[in-house]
Structure 1
């Protein structure tokens, strides 16, 4: 091989490395700008409610992270596994008070493959810290009388129940006025009936935007599709607080000891 050809090959290799490095740098810069813009947006939201915001580098995670993983709906089937390009992660968390209740709103994301690119799936988790309650899951049916998907989610035993010596997880027979609309499971039927009283269920039936609700180890939480949208997040928070105010004897809890 002549010296001239070797030089040209070396120069070509250097050019390729430079181009790849520039592409990586531009992608990194774009991602950093997007993250900074998102932090700015969420900080403005947190300021408006007298709260604070953290990103994942500061340890952002929901109180219920040990109970329910990030982007839990993206796991559990072979096809979801096949398309998943990353593990679910918690990106941001906002803390603030709503009345006498402490609230945390978290944002999670996960990368999924599409036919031509990668799509970022996101979800919002809204949590309220309470005194300890019975473990309970309730989900709204998508269609009247539907059973499969909703019952599958509600029937999945929470980790705190499965870890007990004699785990017990039972479907709740709801009043006829709401049985067509919800599926619910619990570890204690009498205690669940105290939570799912007439006033609680009447309010939940009227507010269609709340699809799921989980009570576990002093945390009441729900998830919403997509990133944190301030108006929707606050509406959901206020609905959850209103529901909790209808549970006899329930009180706020210090979030440092909630999970």
Structure 2
């Protein structure tokens, strides 16, 4: 073997070793950050009398088959081009609140920017209910994105032989600011909450789980559900 070939192989070997070391450091840092996040969420969950989990121990939300993780990042070519990784559910909290079973999940996805990538995150809040009529309600934003989201049929409705998905007239006090659609106008006439489907009331918010504000958001959903007779699945501890 010629001297230049030996030098080339040594150079390639050095580059490979350096790349492996750099990747190992990045992976180690990521695992350290993930562990710290799990510890933080575990402490918060325990303060509510609940538990926390990560991907390895079960962070999948109840409504995962109804709405995918980071669903707002899918649906168009531009969004497809902007995704630098797949989406995943990373953490989940389980606890009871005033007799209602609650699960809060955190999902993430790497999204490309002009120079690198950033981590986009969302929080999904779920409350277990009785099996009520499917309903979506959201802020109208002048008939913009929120309204279009509400007009999209839930999967449980779409899979029916003759699916119906109709606009619901809301109380006058909120009709100017919200839009709602349901599969059963009569059954949903007195229901007012973010989304009901397959025994789950859930809503998705941008950003990671914020312990400081989470309890208030959970209480808001439960307060709305409490106005619906027969919505509670069963009293929990």
TM-score range, shorter chain: over 0.9
Task: Give the structure 1 partner of residue 148 of structure 2.
Answer: 152
Task: Give the structure 2 partner of residue 195 of structure 1.
Answer: 191
Task: Give the structure 1 partner of residue 225 of structure 2.
Answer: 244
From the two aligned structures, give the one with the greater helix fraction: 1
C-alpha distance in 2 between matches for 1:100 and 1:124 = 22
> How much does 1:47 deviate?
0.9
> How much does 1:111 deviate?
0.9
Q: Could you tell me which of 179, 189, 194 is aligned with 1:213?
A: 194
C-alpha distance in 2 between matches for 1:231 and 1:241 = 18
C-alpha distance in 1 between matches for 2:114 and 2:235 = 46
> How much does 1:67 deviate?
0.4
Task: Choose 39-48 or 4-13, whichever is displaced more.
Answer: 4-13
Map 1:103-182 onto structure 2 (within 5 A).
Answer: 103-142=102-141, 146-182=142-178
Q: Deviations over 1:55-113 (max 9, x none)?
A: 11122111000101001111111111111111211001110000100000000001110
How many aligned residue pairs are there?
236
Contact map agreement 2:70 2:87 (CA 8 A) in 1: yes
> How much does 1:253 deviate?
4.5
> How much does 1:4 deviate?
2.6
C-alpha distance in 1 between matches for 2:99 and 2:225 = 11
Contact map agreement 2:196 2:202 (CA 8 A) in 1: yes
Q: Does 1:226 align with 2:194?
A: no
SS across alignment from 1:188? coil
Q: Deviations over 1:211-245 (max 9, x none)?
A: x8110010000111101101221111111111111
> How much does 1:14 deviate?
1.4
> How much does 1:151 deviate?
1.8
Q: TM-score, with normalisation over the residues of structure 1?
A: 0.87
Q: TM-score, with normalisation over the residues of structure 2?
A: 0.95
C-alpha distance in 1 between matches for 2:177 and 2:117 = 36
C-alpha distance in 2 between matches for 1:43 and 1:26 = 25
Unpaired runs of at least 5, structure 2:
none
C-alpha distance in 2 between matches for 1:51 and 1:80 = 36
Task: Give the structure 2 partner of residue 49 of structure 1.
Answer: 48
Q: CA RMSD in A?
A: 1.5
Runs of 4+ with >6 A deviation: none
Contact map agreement 1:100 1:252 (CA 8 A) in 2: no
Contact map agreement 1:84 1:113 (CA 8 A) in 2: yes
Contact map agreement 2:99 2:235 (CA 8 A) in 1: no
Contact map agreement 1:171 1:185 (CA 8 A) in 2: yes
Task: Give the structure 1 partner of residue 83 of structure 2.
Answer: 84
Task: Give the structure 2 partner of residue 16 of structure 1.
Answer: 15
